[in-house]
Structure 1
Amino acid sequence: MNKFLLALLVSAGSLSVFAQDEVTEKEIESHIKFLTLEKNGGRYPGTKANKRVVKYIIKDFKSSGIQAFETGYKQPFEAKLRVAEGEPEKPLASTCNVIGFIEGNDPELKNEYIVLGAHYDHLGLGGPSSKSDKKNAIHFGADDNASGTAALLEISEKLAAHKDELKRSVIFIAFGAEEQGLLGSKYFTEHPLVPLENIKLMINMDMVGRLNDKKQVYMGGAGTFPGGVDFMKDLGVSLGLNPGVHAGGVGGSDHVSFYKKGISVLGMHTGGHPQYHTPEDTLEFINLPGEKMVCEYIFQTILKKASSAEELYFINQD
């Protein structure tokens, strides 16, 4: 009998880990800590460190119950790496997007998709995009964009725990080679795993770890879907945030690739800072309670839109 009860307890514990119904500061910190390890060397495309990060993301997707498409979790592509003016071109780097999904429950709406994305790569040892005078120094990229990758893993896990509420399907994408020119998102939109016209909203998280004392969360693209500006303002305020909501202002991260294809987008971030694209963008500056609030905001956005039958369509903001 004791062994039987023990087995039940172990089973219950496994289920709670499988789809945890809570975003925690501890897990956000743990994800960012791994992503910014010295051995991961700034998560530069084509490196062993980059592949190590990909394995980490896949393992987390699996443990949360995020499904793979028929082609698997990896969407490989070749990335052309940026070089400084006058320098010779580098060989193409083999990297990938990491993709999973939760299928919706409505017989018709499950064929519509909301995409949640964040790029997992960074600058490696610097290069032409660095803002630092330091040469060959690891650019850890805690906010840019270990914070967004950690949010992607935490939100996907919480949505998996609420999968029975979803009418629409939700796709999760950790993009590769964003810092090289939005290459991962461009590749996905040119080689989509579902029809692009069935993607009704794409939410991108790029630098969401530095919520300030005024609790300001910024976003562009809220006017690209019906009622988006008021919806994002009201929801943010209800969660104790101070949302800076822009109808247009689509910005310069991976959501741009989707917007150019006529897909509604939200580009989410918590603002710039002096450590941007320098080796000093480290875990110590991350506001963990703040990132948890941002995760809840984005989780609620997806849950409300994916569990509703309201029509979602693209509104051009150019």
Structure 2
Amino acid sequence: MKKVLLCLLIGVLSVSVFSQAEITEKELKDHMLFLTSEKNAGRYPGGKANRRVVKYLKKEFKNIGVKHFDMGYKQTFNATLRVEKGIDKKPVVKTCNVVGFIEGNDVALKNEYIVLGAHYDHLGLGGPSSKSDKKHTIHYGADDNASGTAALLEIAEKIASQKHLLKRSIIFIAFGAEEQGLLGSKYFVDNPLVPLSQIKLMINMDMVGRMNKEKHVYMGGAGTFPDGVDFMQTLGKSLNLTPIVHAGSVGGSDHVSFYKKGISVLGMHTGGHPQYHKPEDTIDLINFEGQKQVADYIFKTIMKLATTDYNMVFIKQD
């Protein structure tokens, strides 16, 4: 009888571990409910809400099994904030990137890194980057970029469950102060935690929560690594997605900072919408099924590149 109960318990635990490691719509939504909550007030750099979000991200990384570098999970920097026209003095606040890694297993290739990133900040109560006439109103930033941050956590969790397969190492970064001028990613590449020459690809997720009926997934920079355009098109189509793949078109978000340092990049998103940089960018408009499909696509991309000796060299695009 004891043997039967033990087998049942092992079976239940195995199912539980497997289900937790999978990317799920529920977990994506749970992360986003926290990130877009009223108390986090639009995730503006500096202040109590920023610290609360950072604490959440650190806890998730630790629970997942993502290791920290010597300085811990926080890479702290000062961010000079944008101000309305006519205001000369720009406030400076302390914020941070939240960074961790999973080490690969190959003696040589573990010293090569793929970076997966997403910015966690947004516009707070609006400010100069807002496209709304509603002043002092929470800009929830569900798609921009709670969607990418939630995907980052879910993908990290699934990769951690399969870390024994990795040859290359993976760095996960939740960037701060992207909306203030890509400040978090600029700080990271200027103060890298590993030599930049060892970073072979940076994948950035910014607004991945609004997939349309045609299942379009847009990306720029696929031509910055060998056969990248064909690779991303073939993989996307195999997952019943409609990838819109550009060899160049590198711009608009944190991957730009890496590209300027001669690092291959992929900037991933599901397209623009009328709620961009407005208070109406809320969680009720998120396509969680589509977000999960994008996260699975990116997970498979990383695993195909990190579990093989795929030739990773930088190719500059015009």
Q: TM-score range by the shorter chain?
A: over 0.9
Q: CA deviation at 1:310?
A: 2.0
Secondary structure of the equivalent of 1:243? Answer: strand
Does the alignment pair 1:159 with 2:139? no
Give the counterpart letter for 2:29 in structure 1.
E
| Distance in 1 between residues matched to 2:75 and 2:9, nearest whole Å | 38
Is residue 19–residue 158 contact of structure 1 (8 Å, CA) maintained in 2?
Answer: no
Secondary structure of the equivalent of 1:235? Answer: helix
Does the alignment pair 1:87 with 2:73? no
| Distance in 1 between residues matched to 2:78 and 2:185, nearest whole Å | 13
| Cα distance change, pair 127–105 in 1 and its aligned pair in 2 (3 A) | same
Is residue 19–residue 157 contact of structure 1 (8 Å, CA) maintained in 2?
Answer: no
| Distance in 1 between residues matched to 2:67 and 2:10, nearest whole Å | 23
* Residue in 2 that maps onto 1:70: 70
* Residue in 1 that maps onto 2:36: 36
TM-score, structure 2 as length reference:
0.96
* Residue in 2 that maps onto 1:174: 174
* Residue in 2 that maps onto 1:307: 307
| Distance in 1 between residues matched to 2:118 and 2:23, nearest whole Å | 17
* Residue in 1 that maps onto 2:107: 107
| Distance in 2 between residues matched to 1:89 and 1:12, nearest whole Å | 59
Q: How big is each residue's C-alpha offset from its partner over 1:226-266, in whole Å with a ceiling of 9 and x where there is no partner?
A: 00000000000000100000000002100000000000000
Q: How big is each residue's C-alpha offset from its partner over 1:200-233, in whole Å with a ceiling of 9 and x where there is no partner?
A: 0000000000000000000000000000000000
| Distance in 1 between residues matched to 2:48 and 2:14, nearest whole Å | 31
| Distance in 2 between residues matched to 1:233 and 1:22, nearest whole Å | 24
Q: CA deviation at 1:16?
A: 4.6
| Cα distance change, pair 131–163 in 1 and its aligned pair in 2 (3 A) | same
Q: CA deviation at 1:90?
A: 3.3
Q: CA deviation at 1:40?
A: 0.2
| Cα distance change, pair 281–26 in 1 and its aligned pair in 2 (3 A) | same
| Distance in 2 between residues matched to 1:237 and 1:15, nearest whole Å | 29
Secondary structure of the equivalent of 1:289? Answer: helix
* Farther off after superposition, 244-253 or 18-27: 18-27
| Distance in 2 between residues matched to 1:44 and 1:17, nearest whole Å | 35
| Cα distance change, pair 168–206 in 1 and its aligned pair in 2 (3 A) | same
Secondary structure of the equivalent of 2:147? Answer: helix
* Residue in 2 that maps onto 1:186: 186
* Residue in 1 that maps onto 2:135: 135
The share of aligned pairs that are identical, in percent, is 71
Give the counterpart letter for 1:280 in structure 2.
E
Q: CA deviation at 1:10?
A: 9.3
Secondary structure of the equivalent of 1:57? Answer: helix
| Distance in 2 between residues matched to 1:85 and 1:286, nearest whole Å | 33
* Residue in 2 that maps onto 1:207: 207
Cα RMSD, aligned residues only:
2.0
* Residue in 1 that maps onto 2:281: 281
Q: How big is each residue's C-alpha offset from its partner over 1:123-154, in whole Å with a ceiling of 9 and x where there is no partner?
A: 00000000000000000000000000000000
- Aligned residue pairs, count: 317
Q: CA deviation at 1:284?
A: 0.4
Unaligned runs of 5+ in 1: none
* Residue in 2 that maps onto 1:117: 117
Unaligned runs of 5+ in 2: none
Give the counterpart letter for 2:291 in structure 1.
E
Give the counterpart letter for 1:260 in structure 2.
K
Q: CA deviation at 1:47?
A: 1.5
Secondary structure of the equivalent of 1:231? Answer: helix
Q: CA deviation at 1:180?
A: 0.1
Q: How big is each residue's C-alpha offset from its partner over 1:276-299, in whole Å with a ceiling of 9 and x where there is no partner?
A: 000000000000000000000000
Is residue 17–residue 63 contact of structure 1 (8 Å, CA) maintained in 2?
Answer: no
Give the counterpart letter for 1:269 in structure 2.
H
| Cα distance change, pair 12–126 in 1 and its aligned pair in 2 (3 A) | same
